[in-house]
Amino acid sequence: HINLMIDRLDNKDFDKLLEIFQTCFSDAQIKFNNNTLTSCAEILESAGHIKQALDVYYMLLSQQNDDDGLQNKIRSLEKKFQRKI
């Protein structure tokens, strides 16, 4: 469902979505499950916001640090982020 939503968003919608995520993440009272965090990270990555996507993936890693796929994803994005700088 998330991927279908992403395909229909234009840049201004991504900006609004980022604003919503930032508001939610800044509220320590809101707890997110792993699926929600993964979806958020994927949306951020799709929008080209690699640093913010990494931040969300780091949050996920702190909850499930034994996930090899997640660790590989983070390494891949870190390399991508370094090339972008």
pLDDT tens-digit series, residues 5-64:
444 555 566 677 777 677 766 766 667 778 888 888 888 888 888 998 898 899 888 888
Q: How far apart are CA 4 and CA 7, in angstroms?
A: 5
List all residues 6 or more positions away from 77 whose beta carbon is below 8 Å from its beta carbon.
45, 50, 53, 54, 57
Query: What SS3 class is residue 80?
Result: helix
Report the residue count for the chain: 85
Q: How far apart are CA 81 and CA 84, in angstroms?
A: 5
Q: Against a cut of 0.85, is the pTM above it?
A: no
Res. 1 pLDDT band, cuts 50 70 90: very low
Query: What is the pLDDT, as a whole number, of residue 28?
Result: 63
